[in-house]
């Protein structure tokens, strides 16, 4: 019986047993990074948005597993000339074992997954970033020694990263909090979905209250890709109150860790002194993307999903 779903479009597509299996594989892949788990298989990396960590970690990861990463920039494919997402997916499934897609609209992913018989993995959309959250909780597990009962306080805009952290946190027994201005708080859909998954996102206006007792303080950029026209309004709404500083970190009341999905806009959402502190694990987070994403691909291969459709 196949355990995992074919597609990973949302953090909610994962179960606790999926996560346990992926983390166990990631532990092994850290110690033995090179294998032939994907030997003979190509993986398409279809990117509509810029990327550093996601692209490099997937390209290197597929290569280390013996597979062939095929990077496709949207602007150099027929998608840029009007070919449908569905037709592209039906074509790619005849060449590759999986599609890793980084897109502007989440609907692009759902259309692609419905058309393709191979896995479609969300490498970022406007709604979620499940690979980031999966890797982040792996880092928290490594640093704190557990996940159940951990308190994660997110400071800032309710981004796609926050959405995936909230949903996966609900699945894993993590208490997720967010402090943001009311107009930039989490959507009702995320709050309801987290509750459906067994969690409860706690929403605060005051960052100092949100971080009390937190094991993890997390933030993200205040102006995400595609929001550049809103920059001035967003910075006025968030700063300086929603900046992570040493003073805010001290209000946790414990030796908390600081996390950021990167890239960081130093001096805006976080101060240099926090980014470069001993509490910061931001670059270990980035490093763990490689191990966890490799483990995700191996797990999907073990379930028999990574097979191109034969003519």
What residues are labeled active site?
102, 129, 132, 220, 261, 289
Task: Output the CA torsion sign for 145, 151, 156, 161.
Answer: positive
Q: How many residues make up the chain in this entry? A: 311
Three-state SS for 258? strand
- Number of CB atoms found within 10 A of residue 116's CB: 24
* Helix 282-302 / helix 53-64 crossing angle, nearest 10 deg: 50
Nearest 5°: the CA angle 117, 121, 125 is 125
Whole-Å CA distances, 280 to 143, 166, 249: 11, 21, 11
Whole-Å CA distances, 5 to 9, 20, 133, 228, 305: 10, 15, 17, 35, 9
Maximum pairwise Cα distance, the chain: 61
């Amino acid at each position: 019986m196949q355990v995992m779903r074919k597609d990973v479009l949302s953090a909610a597509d994962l179960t606790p047993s999926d996560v346990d299996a992926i983390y166990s594989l990631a532990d092994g892949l850290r110690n033995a990074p090179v294998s032939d788990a994907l030997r003979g298989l190509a993986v398409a990396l279809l990117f509509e948005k810029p990327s550093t960590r996601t692209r490099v970690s997937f390209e290197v990861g597929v290569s280390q597993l013996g597979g062939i990463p095929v990077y496709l920039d949207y602007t150099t494919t027929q998608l840029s000339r009007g070919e449908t997402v569905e037709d592209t997916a039906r074509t790619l499934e005849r060449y590759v074992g999986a599609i890793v897609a980084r897109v502007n609209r989440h609907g692009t992913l759902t259309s692609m997954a419905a058309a393709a018989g191979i896995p479609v993995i969300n490498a970022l959309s406007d709604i979620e970033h499940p690979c980031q959250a999966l890797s982040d909780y792996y880092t928290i597990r490594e640093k704190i020694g557990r996940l159940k009962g951990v308190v994660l306080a997110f400071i800032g805009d309710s981004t796609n990263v926050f959405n995936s952290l909230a949903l996966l946190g609900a699945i894993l027994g993590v208490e997720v909090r967010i402090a943001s201005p009311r107009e930039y708080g989490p959507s009702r859909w995320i709050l309801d979905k987290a509750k459906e998954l067994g969690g409860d996102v706690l929403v605060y206006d005051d960052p100092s209250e949100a971080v009390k007792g937190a094991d993890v303080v997390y933030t993200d950029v205040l102006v995400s890709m595609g929001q550049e026209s809103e920059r001035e309004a967003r910075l006025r709404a968030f700063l300086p109150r929603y900046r992570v500083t040493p003073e805010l970190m001290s209000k946790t009341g414990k030796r908390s860790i600081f996390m950021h999905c990167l890239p960081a806009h130093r001096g805006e959402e976080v101060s240099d002194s926090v980014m470069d502190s001993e509490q910061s694990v931001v670059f270990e987070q980035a490093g763990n993307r490689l191990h966890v994403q490799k483990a995700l691909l191996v797990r999907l291969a073990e379930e028999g999903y990574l097979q191109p459709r034969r003519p």
